[in-house]
Structure 1
């Protein structure tokens, strides 16, 4: 069950965030006070792992509080859409419960309201209100012909035959005047067929045929009367298996010295908010982890004065037990933390000293124990986050969506890059959504996963999938982290000897990055340098980018589509910039035989891309693109031709959306498709 998009409305600074697409690791960037944190908090309160109360005073938009506070119970503040894959346990259960096709159940749209209640629906649920008349006419004609061939001897049977034929022919006449049959007309047919006004003969051969017609009508009526996918058992399954949300911010970092009386007091309060609440939450997690009550630790830390001999012995045993428990917790924390943090081999020592609880740290380079506060804030952040995540997921590190606010901001840039790699590893079993304004935490290989948060003209937070959404030059600082990250990426290419390859557009970049990952993972390609694909925004941008990249080195390779504009541009480059190095101009047409205009989609296995195409044509009844697809023609031209024929308006950037969908399919291919040989030839030419 995967979160594919979300939308926040009427929550704190957010009037309407707009729908935000989500991937395995989604990054929301923006300046301070842009409202990034509010988006995460709304998501967290959708289905939190711990107690996250909906607080009207804090969560309602402050400037609309008076008008909404008494009427907001039926107001949704968060909407999410989950997608179920074929092997998902929930999908299998829902198919059994509802009897519906998996295509109808693939997406679930849920809302949570300020009342705390939920609602849900299935966007692709088939609600049939009409059926094609043509199928009914064909069936009734078949049955009428069968009846006409039956010879009748008795007057009763002859009369019955005449009445039935008249009724059925009447149905045909009426249906020929209509394209569709609805529930009311079908019910009329059923009633008339049940009550013909004539009796069949004792051994009637016609009556069984009439019964067949009735059975057919009733089966079709079941389709028109089918209830919505909404029942207690469905909701029980959805609620029990949907992911939990874990939220963590820098404000929850553990203090090095914890004053137990304050901890005890704060853990019992319900009125703490903001930074203090984040601290209390992490402290609760810490004491849950070590398995001790802070009251007990405080009592055991007091001096055992004015006690009898028996009381002293009991007191000493309790203190000894506390020491054993703390040593055990220290060992457990040290061992398990090593699995997460690769920046050092740390040893933790949890100690209680009077009214204070302290965390001491040592490592191989600095074996002397020092308090946590004396170590880096990065280590404090990672330890605190680790405890929160581990405790709230009950060590079941699956089916969780992790929300990290300004993750690892205090880490060194190299450690931030390690954190990004850690996110990718953790995302194999848990999705991650994190906010940042650090360029080191922007994944330039997956720019499609980066979203921008900015403040609109009315002062509300907007989040967009389009990094150009905030185009006002006075406020374009929101996307600065991406610009900086791309600059760093280009610098890395120059400094670290990577192989830059220019491609025409973003869709080419998605496909080729996925192909690269697949070939390397399959052992079919072993590059001497890392290959970085740089989109030029069309053939017109190739020359400019090639000139910039080659300013400090050799001309980069260029991959060009084999359509008319691509081949003509290749000829132009051969005469100009690439006059001496035309072998670096790679035209896809040279690798595919039989196609006139070869584009990147034509070298992608059709089974990796077909479902994404089907989604473009959901409005067309009974459509599956593989039924009309011709492998001897360019794929994009077929998509656009079919859209024109069916009056389907293809969305702007539809090629990029198809590429995003196909990317993971390519990486996860289990069998070697015929297109792989083409991929190898292209990459070997780059190598």
Structure 2
């Protein structure tokens, strides 16, 4: 099951992180001590590959431990929202009555005492086992009892007493059953069992038919009540299908010198130790075991000599054969790890050699620069050591029964060169084909500047508690925002150096919509963004002019796309008066492309689609009425509807809504609307026309001439 979002509560310096939306690859970005590691560790303990429980004494917020934490009180620690699909969806479909909408997501919560709860969205509706059919059968039984005939005139009085007793019995049972809402619970099952037992005891020649009719209804209800609760079966199916979480940090870097007897002792005593775990992964990766290596290295001849015993030719031959077998296995393993690791590490070609001498196991490394010089692993760069250790743990543990594991990387690749960190991003993409991946970093080179929607900024508030900014919203904290700015700047610089056509847009909402709609228009065979166009979000209208000036400094005039609201038109006037004087075609306002007035980028998707995305993302129920539409653009209509309803929209609500929409389109949870693609096509055609105009060609010619010179 794919993770859609997670939430951490009551864990260390996090009171409540709120729901953190996740992508296939998600980056938690923040300065030191901001809470990135805390978030990852809490998520890891939700369902760890290696057992590690929440510990109230160590993990519960210290300032609340004495006053709030009580043994036995259910304190939630981590919740995860999963997408329901595949086998789990089929299982739920088999459990639910026909016609009932199936859940699309499940929210599972792990508590400090270890128990797990699961709820569904939309909720499961499980019809109760009603007592009404039994009450009706008891009523019919009472009517039949009134008509019970006496065998003879002499027995009329006794029959009259029997009629009254049967009526009283049926009435008493109706009173017992009426308060029970669902006979499926233990109380209901017990009542049905007692009713069946008493009814069986009352059976006789004259009451047999009456009781048989009643018992048929009771037994049918009892059979239904004894069936497993469909909602519990659904929760069990979700719990069974949950992926495990694999956490890796720098403490798991390989030791290149391993004394096998000590390692075997440590592995027995601390199997979850980070370094033990990595060395085990190394052995499993190439089909070796520490036990086998040690046994193959035993010299019986030396043991015989120490004991003063003669050494026979047979013992020498056995020793030689074992050493040859170990040498062959290590040589084969060395070739395998060299070949497979070379597919992932492209900084330099390396040869990895495993070597064993008695009880010592070592790892030697040579490279293509000095192929004849072998160096111990610990003498290679820290970046290389990290990458090799990371490669072994994740590839082995994700293949070892956890193919769908969620990978959690805490500050990966800090010792890698910036270019290698950039390559690490590509490595994450390959890993994410099989495993969802979440990592923390404060390095701008480990942030994909072309996919900033994957970033979740983590900041520490004035009260000391960690918070996560909404997707697409950049916090005010300078230390947190720096790597984001640097990553965006680096991506922009790459665009400048490659002389791609750059389109400056106001913010992240524009960036997400243009890329998403461009991809869907391309799939539909419609006009789309030019292949070499690079969309640059400026972080607001005031920043457009500053970034435009930066491009001009590089002899490249970027095309500017602005909303048709007052801020956008004012920005257009300023640009045409100064930086873009004489280059009017290089500034495009949405109104001119789409044919409207006061349009904003959200108008591309339309009122109904945007509002549905906002309501789904924030759990709201905003509706728009005619007087709201008088405000103009979709955004202004929604804001007016929210004010009218007394709803305070959170910071970043526009980006949140758009992220929900593009995520649903990308994951095929809902189709990209045809009307939105048609509007986007008009905009893309207008952009392409402006990008190809003579007014924008001149600066590129200047840059080209400068390079030639």
| Per-residue deviation, residues 147-177 of structure 1 (Å, max 9, x unmatched) | xxxxxxxxxxxxxxxxxxxxxxxxxxxxxxx
Separation in structure 2 between the aligned mates of residue 100 and residue 613 of structure 1, nearest angstrom: 30
Give 2:87's match in structure 1, choosing from 86, 89, 114.
89
Separation in structure 1 between the aligned mates of residue 667 and residue 550 of structure 2, nearest angstrom: 35
Give 2:681's match in structure 1, choosing from 656, 670, 677.
677
Which residue does the alignment assign to 1:255? Answer: 255
1:320 corresponds to 2:324: yes
Which residue does the alignment assign to 2:440? Answer: 435
Separation in structure 2 between the aligned mates of residue 385 and residue 501 of structure 1, nearest angstrom: 38
Separation in structure 2 between the aligned mates of residue 57 and residue 528 of structure 1, nearest angstrom: 55
| Per-residue deviation, residues 622-674 of structure 1 (Å, max 9, x unmatched) | x9x9xxx99xx965466556657777655443321222123345667899853
Give 1:546's match in structure 2, choosing from 545, 548, 551.
548
Give 1:281's match in structure 2, choosing from 271, 274, 277.
277
> Is residue 503–residue 560 contact of structure 2 (8 Å, CA) maintained in 1?
yes
> Is residue 77–residue 112 contact of structure 2 (8 Å, CA) maintained in 1?
yes
- The verdict on how the C-alpha distance between 1:609 and 1:91 changes in structure 2, with shifts beyond 3 A counting, is farther
Structure 1 residue runs without a partner (length 5+): 130-182, 188-226
SS in 2 for 1:105: coil
> Is residue 528–residue 681 contact of structure 2 (8 Å, CA) maintained in 1?
no
Deviation at 1:558, TM superposition (A): 0.8
> Is residue 255–residue 279 contact of structure 2 (8 Å, CA) maintained in 1?
no
- The verdict on how the C-alpha distance between 1:103 and 1:320 changes in structure 2, with shifts beyond 3 A counting, is farther
- The verdict on how the C-alpha distance between 1:679 and 1:608 changes in structure 2, with shifts beyond 3 A counting, is farther
SS in 1 for 2:361: strand
SS in 2 for 1:445: coil
Deviation at 1:42, TM superposition (A): 1.3
> Is residue 74–residue 112 contact of structure 2 (8 Å, CA) maintained in 1?
yes
> Is residue 518–residue 529 contact of structure 2 (8 Å, CA) maintained in 1?
no
1:537 corresponds to 2:540: yes
Deviation at 1:407, TM superposition (A): 0.6
Separation in structure 2 between the aligned mates of residue 318 and residue 459 of structure 1, nearest angstrom: 60
CA RMSD of aligned residues (A): 4.1
Deviation at 1:527, TM superposition (A): 5.1
| Per-residue deviation, residues 108-158 of structure 1 (Å, max 9, x unmatched) | 2111122222111124327799xxxxxxxxxxxxxxxxxxxxxxxxxxxxx
Separation in structure 2 between the aligned mates of residue 333 and residue 530 of structure 1, nearest angstrom: 41
Deviation at 1:586, TM superposition (A): 1.4
Separation in structure 2 between the aligned mates of residue 571 and residue 535 of structure 1, nearest angstrom: 18
| Equivalence map 1:101-500=2 (5 Å) | 105-125=103-123, 231-270=231-270, 277-305=273-301, 306=304, 307-368=311-372, 369-394=374-399, 398-465=403-470, 471=476, 476-500=478-502
- The verdict on how the C-alpha distance between 1:458 and 1:572 changes in structure 2, with shifts beyond 3 A counting, is closer
SS in 2 for 1:268: helix
1:589 corresponds to 2:585: no
| Per-residue deviation, residues 227-254 of structure 1 (Å, max 9, x unmatched) | 9997332122102222221111111011
Which residue does the alignment assign to 2:151? Answer: none
> Is residue 390–residue 397 contact of structure 1 (8 Å, CA) maintained in 2?
no
SS in 2 for 1:497: coil
SS in 1 for 2:38: helix
Separation in structure 2 between the aligned mates of residue 578 and residue 102 of structure 1, nearest angstrom: 59
> Is residue 260–residue 294 contact of structure 1 (8 Å, CA) maintained in 2?
yes
> Is residue 74–residue 115 contact of structure 1 (8 Å, CA) maintained in 2?
yes
Deviation at 1:681, TM superposition (A): 0.8
Which residue does the alignment assign to 2:153? Answer: none
Deviation at 1:405, TM superposition (A): 0.7
> Is residue 536–residue 545 contact of structure 1 (8 Å, CA) maintained in 2?
no
- The verdict on how the C-alpha distance between 1:317 and 1:228 changes in structure 2, with shifts beyond 3 A counting, is closer
Which residue does the alignment assign to 1:144? Answer: none
> Is residue 93–residue 237 contact of structure 1 (8 Å, CA) maintained in 2?
yes
Larger mean CA deviation between 595-604 and 413-422 belongs to 595-604
Separation in structure 1 between the aligned mates of residue 427 and residue 633 of structure 2, nearest angstrom: 40
> Is residue 6–residue 19 contact of structure 1 (8 Å, CA) maintained in 2?
yes
Deviation at 1:434, TM superposition (A): 0.7
- The verdict on how the C-alpha distance between 1:674 and 1:461 changes in structure 2, with shifts beyond 3 A counting, is closer
Structure 2 length as normaliser, TM-score?
Answer: 0.71
Structure 2 residue runs without a partner (length 5+): 128-177, 183-226, 305-310, 693-709
- The verdict on how the C-alpha distance between 1:282 and 1:12 changes in structure 2, with shifts beyond 3 A counting, is farther
- The verdict on how the C-alpha distance between 1:678 and 1:88 changes in structure 2, with shifts beyond 3 A counting, is farther
> Is residue 338–residue 345 contact of structure 1 (8 Å, CA) maintained in 2?
yes
Deviation at 1:569, TM superposition (A): 4.7
Deviation at 1:489, TM superposition (A): 3.7
Separation in structure 2 between the aligned mates of residue 478 and residue 452 of structure 1, nearest angstrom: 7
Q: What is the aligned length?
A: 578
Deviation at 1:73, TM superposition (A): 6.5
